[in-house]
Every structure is written in C-alpha cells, then in structure tokens.
Amino acid sequence: MPTDAYPAIHPDPALFRSPLFEGIGRDELPVMLKCLQPIKVEHKKGEYIATSGERLRGIGVVVSGKAAVVRETAAGDRIVMTILEPGDLFGEIAAFAKEPRWPATVQAQEASTVLIIPRDGIVGQCANACSWHETLIRNMLRIVTEKALMLNQKVTYLTIKSMRGRISAFLLDHYNRQRTAIITLPMNRNEMADFLGVSRPSMSRELSRMKEEGLIDFHLSTFRILDLDDLKRYASSI
C-alpha cells in the first residue's frame, strides 16, 4: 500500500470527470491539487482502503480501479452500499463531523489508486485566495446532498418486501437516470444482490422468471426493459 504525495503537474484524467472538480478548468486543476496537497495511495485487489469506525483522514477520490462501499449487519451479513469507479468520492458524508470516522468499509475490487484529500484543504481558509475555492465548496455541498438522497433510496429498496419489487425499483431508477430502455449497471450480479439485500441464487432465479415472463432481457450487466408498466407496478408494491 505505497503512499506518496500526488504529482499535481499532470492530473489523472479521472479527476477531470469527478463531480468534486466540476467547473474547475484544466489549467486550474494542477494549481488546485498543489494547494490541497492530497496523498496518493495504491491498493491491491481485496485490500481495505478504509475500515468502518477508523478515524477518517480525509475525503477519498478513486483515480483508477474499482472499489465497493460495504456495511455489515448485526447478523454479520455483508451489504454493498455502492460501487466506486474512477472519479467517484467516498467519506464525504462523515468528513466534516466533529469526530470524523469512516461510516463504512471501502474495499478494492481490483488494483486501485485513490487520493486522500485533507478536509481542511476543502473547508479551511485558502492562504492563496484561489479563485476555484468557492466552486469546490459548492460542489462539495451538492455531492453531500445527492449522496443523502441516494442513501434514502437505498432504504426505500429495503422496505419493499418482495424480491421482484426490489429488482423492479432498482432497474427503474437506472432507467430514469440513463433515460433509455437499455441500461448498463455499474455492478456485477453479486454486488447487485448485496446492494438489494438478497441472496445471489434467489435473485438469479427471479431475474430468469422476469425474463421468461417478458418483463426484461439481460446479458451480464446490460438490461433491456421490455414491459415498463409491469415493472412500475411491481416496484410500487410494498
């Protein structure tokens, strides 16, 4: 797990796609990174990037690879909260708490590089009066708001008793987000099952039944919605 200062002269392309840096110009980003002084950390597949309950060092940004944010229930069940890809953030919800600690565990799904940005670099007073600082804070507020809404949606999935209802609601959310009947999910089947709080074999059987009944079609992580009205009906049954 090598750790080093981040070379800000040539930022990784993923950083230009990150919502944290939206509105920051290509010429401004290297200057901003020099001011923020993030730390670059390399992780192998399976390594823990952050562990629930540990003191939070700063906000994380995935530069390369893929990671999963996971929680464990009192019964020891593992639930995937979300999948992080290059440009995605983690730790932003708890970063500005009085005693910040990681609210969940973040595990590398493949070899990954992350940046850890000290929280004082974002909300602290900028000694250089950088023009981008206000944009960064505004982006941060928007991200935290959207994350809270997403977690609320996760709770909504878990309140739906039937597995078909959870799957339908999940697919409909991605349909509304991607605005197309052919949707690509940012997770594999195991991760999808963990995210919905169901077993992988049971979910696979239900997906096969939904396919046989003409509701959906799928291959790997790509789904085609064939009967939108029926999906809406199942998603609304709590």
Q: Is 11 a residue whose pLDDT tops 80? A: no
Give the tens place of pLDDT for each residue, 107-128. 999 999 999 998 877 766 665 6
The better pLDDT of the pair 237, 30 is held by: 30
Q: Quick one: pLDDT at residue 227?
A: 95
Q: Is the pTM of this model over 0.75?
A: no
The pLDDT of residue 111? 96
> Residue range 51-57: average pLDDT?
90
Band the pLDDT of 152: cuts 50, 70, 90.
confident
Q: In sequence order, what DSSP letters do the residues of 63-116 get, joined into one string?
A: EES-EEEEEE-TT--EEEEEEE-TT-EESTTTTTSSS-B-SSEEEESSSEEEEE
Q: Which tens digit of pLDDT belongs to each residue from 61-84?
A: 999 999 999 887 767 777 777 889
Architecture (CATH level 2) of domain 3-154: Sandwich (2.60)
Q: What is the pLDDT of residue 138?
A: 87
State the average pLDDT for the chain: 86
Stronger pLDDT, 186 or 67, i.e. the higher one: 67
- Residue-wise pLDDT for 156-178, tens only, equals 888 898 999 999 999 999 999 89
- Asked which of 6-10, 93-97, 134-138, 205-209 is least confident by mean pLDDT, the reply is 6-10
In sequence order, which residues have a C-beta less than 8 Å from that of residue 39 and are 6 or more positions away? Answer: 3, 4, 5, 6, 57, 58, 115, 116
* Six token digits for residue 66: 């893929």
Residue 7 has pLDDT above 60, yes or no: no
Length of the chain measured in residues: 238
Instruction: Give me the residue spans of the domains in the chain.
Output: 3-154, 160-235
For residue 9, pLDDT over 60 is answered with: no
- Rounded to an integer, the average pLDDT of 10-25 is 85
pLDDT at 5: 55
CATH number of 160-235: 1.10.10.10
Backbone region of residue 130 per phi and psi (left: phi > 0; alpha: psi in -120 to 50; beta: other values): beta
What is the 8-class DSSP label of residue 46?
T
pLDDT of residue 98: 81
